[in-house]
Amino acid sequence: MTNMTSRVATQAADDAKDHPAIAWTARLGFAGYGLVYLLIAWLTVQLAFGRPDESVSGQGALAQLSQQPLGGVLLWIVAGGFAALVVWELCQTIGGHRDQHGLKRVGGRAASAGRAVVFGALGFTAARIAVNGAGSSGSSSSREEGFTAKVLDLPYGPFLVGAIGVGLVVYGICSIIGGFTDFWRKQIDVDGRTGTAGKVISTLARTGYVARGIAFGIVGGLVVWAAATHDPKKSGGLDEALTTLRDAPAGPYLLLAVAIGLACFGVFNMAKVWFLRDV
């Protein structure tokens, strides 16, 4: 009975994922995800030379988008794309990653579940900003400090915060390793892995994953430091991490390099509109 239920759920997930409406709207979602990273890269460039107009984060990028002509319409389109990505990744969680076996398949499905959470949060934020305006996004650093302070006050709070920080560091390391090991190639179809297109996409993906890993590694390091010192002000989101990098020796140049990498990650996700593979 359990096996039959599992097969029915897997088949339903496959049917939903392969439906043209979901498949193409998911591609729109990847385009929106890429656009978010391009805007984060632009905000990072501004941070290298002063202060950006918005928080250097996904929420800041969406707030920046809302200020463009037809920004509200674009936000709703992006929110719809993220909603489709949530459905697509949940279907991958249930029945995807069929080219993998054992622990690798379990890991692939867990990664899909994690991405569904990220896309859901971004889609919710896009819809909220579309309804309430850019001011509803608030300050990323203030939110991070408030959340960290609440967790630190819990029993074993510093250990929980430290675990979150270590998790972010591990995520960053995995992103860097993934950039060098080309795990992302399984997301791309044959046309995107060969010829001139393959070379361009490989460069974009490798550079982008490494840059994203560096950024999240710094975020995780700040969270661990906040746990060690019991000071939530030492934690922060992506904007705080990049500000820390900017204030290091040769920081503005390092920040520009990270911005280029984040832009590459954005373009790589946009390329999935044409080269996304069903896995």
Verify that 154 and 272 share a domain, yes or no: yes
Verify that 131 and 157 share a domain, yes or no: no
End residue of a domain, out of 138, 163, 192 = 138
Q: How far apart are CA 26 and CA 83, in angstroms?
A: 8
End residue of a domain, out of 97, 123, 138 = 138
Verify that 26 and 122 share a domain, yes or no: yes
pLDDT at 236: 66
pLDDT at 98: 65
Verify that 24 and 127 share a domain, yes or no: yes
Verify that 156 and 277 share a domain, yes or no: yes
Torsion of CA 254, 43, 149, 169, to 10 degrees: -40
Contact 47, 239 (CB under 8 A): yes
pLDDT at 208: 93
Verify that 10 and 37 share a domain, yes or no: yes
Verify that 145 and 269 share a domain, yes or no: yes
Verify that 192 and 205 share a domain, yes or no: yes
pLDDT by position in tens, the chain (length 279): 555 555 545 555 555 555 566 677 788 888 888 988 998 888 888 888 877 766 777 777 888 888 877 778 888 888 888 888 888 888 878 866 666 666 777 777 787 888 888 888 888 888 888 888 755 555 555 556 566 777 777 777 788 888 888 988 998 898 899 888 877 887 788 888 888 888 999 999 999 999 999 988 888 888 888 888 777 666 667 777 787 788 888 888 888 998 999 999 999 999 988 887 765
Verify that 126 and 165 share a domain, yes or no: no
pLDDT at 275: 85
Verify that 99 and 144 share a domain, yes or no: no
Verify that 9 and 124 share a domain, yes or no: yes
pLDDT at 209: 93
Q: How far apart are CA 98 and CA 278, in angstroms?
A: 10
End residue of a domain, out of 138, 164, 188 = 138
pLDDT at 30: 87
Verify that 115 and 198 share a domain, yes or no: no
What's the domain count of the chain?
2
Host domain of residue 277: 140-279
